[in-house]
Amino acid sequence: MRKINLLLIFILLSFSTFAQIQPWGGIIDHDSCKFENHCSLVKLDTSLHNIWQIGKPSKPFFDTAFSAPNAIVTDTINPYPIANNSYFDLIIPNIFLPNLIVGFKHKFQTDSLTDGGYIEESDDNGATWVNIAYEDTIMTTPGAFNTENLYPKQDTLQGGESGFSGTSNGWIYSRIQWIWLWPCKQIPPDTLILRFHFISDSIQTNKAGWMIDNILISWAIMSGINESENNRSQIHIIPNPVDDIATIKFDNSGNEIFNITIYDPLGQIIKIIENIKSNQVEIKRGDFTEGLYFVQLRNDNKILGTGKLIIK
């Protein structure tokens, strides 16, 4: 499995071996699944043996979702059955995602070291799969992968598959990060899929299984272009994503002179618009390639507002 590395990988490699996922440039949230409404990122297996369900959990140990009422659960009412192998897929949007982070809240209750859950990754749209625990050993670039609260390779289930097993101590927040690279094989990028498996042996233990909620797709940024919690001027980009022309709107009730700077995820300046005296400015799709960008509204070198721009 090969990956497309960023140009700065060798310069920044010494910074990329975090014990925890705490990027210094900040984290920008892109999309999420809380399961209260339809989530286009999640695709359930349609086979008859599949026990993953989206709904309100109502059984011992799984009596409530992390963000009520719904979660995705190995059966919302009954204990998981014997001899089962079920999965659902998390489809990562097909856009440039350097420094990608996938996080999720979860609980599990299974027969230790036999039944449990594990995650496989496919970076070529489902052609090949690998257990996420082994991603760091097959990366062509050392130190370009990081996890938080994930099972180690030695925590194996039946058949020797690495995964979560036993009983969790309440809710766990697990995260996976691909550092300084795009987890794909080509440009434009192919689809990245994470497959969440649950497996059980032939002994019934009447346990709850695995419950997952609040899946979050984010990316870390490398420079000081983080979104501020104290934005004085909120930026609105309409439409967003952009496929032709978009309007960036903001408050200018004081008749000030603004500048707008647009960065790519590496912190490189892509476009500067100066001397803005109104409360909006137009941008054209043709000035950008497909992907994510960050917008800063400035006045006298002060950042007054930030926003995210997606080009289709």
pLDDT digits (tens, 9 = 90+) for 228-242: 444 456 788 999 889
User: Could you tell me the CATH number of the domain that includes residue 161?
Assistant: 2.60.120.260
SS3 73: strand
Helices (H), the chain: 9-12, 135-138
Same-domain check for residues 56 and 21:
yes
pLDDT digits (tens, 9 = 90+) for 122-136: 988 888 999 999 987
DSSP track, 20-64: S---TT-EEEEEEE-SSS--TTEEE--STT--EEEE---BTTB-S
pLDDT at residue 218, as a whole number: 84
SS3 175: strand
Is residue 204 a contact partner of residue 82, using CB atoms and an 8 Å limit? yes
Q: What predicted TM-score, i.e. pTM, was given to this entire model?
A: 0.71
pLDDT digits (tens, 9 = 90+) for 46-68: 999 999 999 999 999 999 999 99
Q: Quote the number of domains for the chain.
A: 2
pLDDT digits (tens, 9 = 90+) for 215-228: 999 877 654 444 44
pLDDT digits (tens, 9 = 90+) for 253-267: 888 999 999 987 666
Same-domain check for residues 212 and 244:
no
Give me the domain span that covers residue 16. Answer: 4-220
HSE of 268, CA atoms in CB hemisphere, 13 A: 8
Q: What is the mean pLDDT of residues 19-27?
A: 57
pLDDT at residue 19, as a whole number: 44
SS3 233: coil
Same-domain check for residues 135 and 259:
no
